[in-house]
Amino acid sequence: MRGLGTGAIGSRGALKAVITALAVLAAVGLLLSACATGGTGARDEGPAGSDSVTGTTAPSGSATRTAESVDAIRLVKKDPEVSAAVKRGLKPCVSDEYPVDVSYGNLTAGAADDIVVNVMTCGDAVGVGSYVYRREGGSYKNVFNAEEPPVYAEIDRGDLVVTQQLYKKGDPVSYPSSEEVITYRWAANRFSEVARTHNDYSKAVGGESPTPAPN
């Protein structure tokens, strides 16, 4: 029995050595085949994601927006929608510097950027008029105006946001009592109100302290 066991163990060892040798030869053969064909494993099937790269190309017919600088002072003064009072007050503060803020951006999805013009006073920079101009037929057309001071218009993520400060009797110009923030969005060739927020200001912060009543 012991002799049989010893022989079995010897034959198993020889068989294991043969299997190991065959495995090594097979691995060497695969390696040589890959080197001969220049292959890189799974990459031999072609570059991954080639279709997705071409799919991200922007359409050739997409519109290109352009921002062109305009003479905002002339635009406002020649605009029949602007009140005579605003036009009279639109004068240089220092030298040829006018109290006007101008912003360019996409508000009406036109071929060119829209123009937002805020006209202010020289002394305290109070907004007296806010206007939006849209490029139409080679010229700019007034599509929005607000002339109830103090008012200021801005472009916020494609929306027109107008801030209207409100005063109570006795409020100094620098400290209004509250404000209305109104958001407009362009639809059906006009601006429509889509949101409104009212903010009350604290008189204890930055404002004038109330005068104590006499005893």
- For residue 21, how far is the Cα from the chain centroid? 66
Least confident interval from 5-14, 39-48, 180-189, 198-207: 39-48
CB within 8 Å of 196: residues ≥ 6 apart: 180, 181, 182, 183
Q: Amino acid identity, residue 18?
A: V
Specify whether the CB–CB gap between 104 and 95 falls below 8 A.
no
∠ Cα 183 184 189 (to 5°): 175
Looking at the structure, do residues 15 and 101 belong to the same domain, yes or no?
no
What tens digit of pLDDT does each residue of 155-186 get? 999 999 999 999 998 888 778 899 999 999 99
Say if 63 falls within a structural domain: no
Specify whether the CB–CB gap between 162 and 193 falls below 8 A.
no
Say if 211 falls within a structural domain: no
Token output for 143: 């599509």
Residue 44 three-state SS: helix
Say if 19 falls within a structural domain: yes
Q: How many domains, in total, are found in the chain?
A: 2
Looking at the structure, do residues 109 and 184 belong to the same domain, yes or no?
yes
Q: Which domain holds residue 4?
A: 1-34
Token output for 209: 């302290």
Looking at the structure, do residues 18 and 77 belong to the same domain, yes or no?
no
Give the residues across from 165 on adjacent strands: 179
Report pTM: 0.65
Say if 125 falls within a structural domain: yes
